[in-house]
């Protein structure tokens, strides 16, 4: 069991999906590059750990999701916040619509929760060849299952949660798998519903590039 602080900062004005990368760049510039949690880089390389500040586009509006130490760092943004920024070449008013701070208890339960997982990146160089050999939805669901469990465990490790029970996952319905270009590279993304015996907060990210809006989790209902 792990109790975490979970902060969401929603901005008033909508953006296009492709503008999220520029929104992220503006927030990093305002907050200062000396704060690693905003950009997940260390020196010339990456900080290979779960992102504690995540950039989302939810209901067409940009949102910061800050977890634990990420909340302690977000003051850098507010101390230096500018009213107007540029998203590429478009002026954008950086008005805060709402701030929501919650405390969540993450643990493995004896019941299941139902989730929607949007634009998740489960494919990498190690499993790409196997993925390309799959032909049925059943094969794809079984293929995704251990990857999803691994992503949940990686998230848990990144926030300091020691999971002492078995995590069970069932992939229910694959809404679609498609390719997108991210940083000039073609990546497969999947959108699906799944059940798990672990509680996950709404809008938390799982998997590769969770810091920039991929793999966002939403609760559907308890089962």
Structural domains of the chain ordered from first start: 2-104 (3.30.70), 108-222 (3.30.70)
Residues of the chain with pLDDT below 50 are 43-47, 223
pLDDT of the residue at 223: 43
Q: Answer yes or no: pTM beyond 0.85.
A: yes
- How many CB atoms sit inside 10 A of residue 211's CB? 22
Residue 31, Cβ density class (10 Å: 0-12 exposed, 13-18 middle, ≥19 buried):
buried
pLDDT of the residue at 20: 95
End-to-end CA distance of the chain: 20
Residue 120, Cα to own-chain centre: how many angstroms?
9
């Amino acid at each position: 069991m792990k109790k975490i602080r979970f902060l969401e900062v929603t901005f008033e004005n909508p953006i296009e999906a492709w503008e999220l990368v520029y929104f992220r760049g503006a927030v990093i510039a305002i907050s200062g590059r000396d704060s690693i949690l905003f950009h997940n880089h260390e020196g010339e390389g990456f900080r290979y750990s779960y992102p504690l500040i995540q950039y989302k586009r939810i209901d067409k509006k940009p949102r910061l999701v800050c977890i634990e130490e990420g909340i302690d760092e977000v003051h850098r943004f507010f101390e230096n916040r500018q009213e107007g920024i540029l998203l590429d070449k478009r002026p954008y008013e950086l008005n805060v619509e709402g701030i929501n701070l919650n405390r969540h208890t993450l643990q493995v339960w004896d019941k299941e929760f139902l989730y929607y997982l949007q634009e998740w990146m489960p494919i990498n160089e190690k499993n790409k060849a196997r993925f390309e050999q799959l032909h049925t939805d059943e094969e794809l669901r079984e293929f995704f299952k251990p990857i999803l469990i691994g992503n949940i465990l990686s998230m848990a490790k990144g926030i300091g949660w020691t999971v002492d029970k078995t995590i069970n996952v069932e992939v229910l319905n694959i809404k679609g798998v498609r390719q997108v270009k991210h940083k000039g590279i073609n990546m497969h993304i999947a959108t699906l519903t799944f059940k798990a015996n672990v509680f996950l907060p709404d809008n938390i990210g799982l998997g590769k590039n969770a810091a920039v809006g991929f793999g966002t989790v939403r609760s559907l209902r308890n089962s």
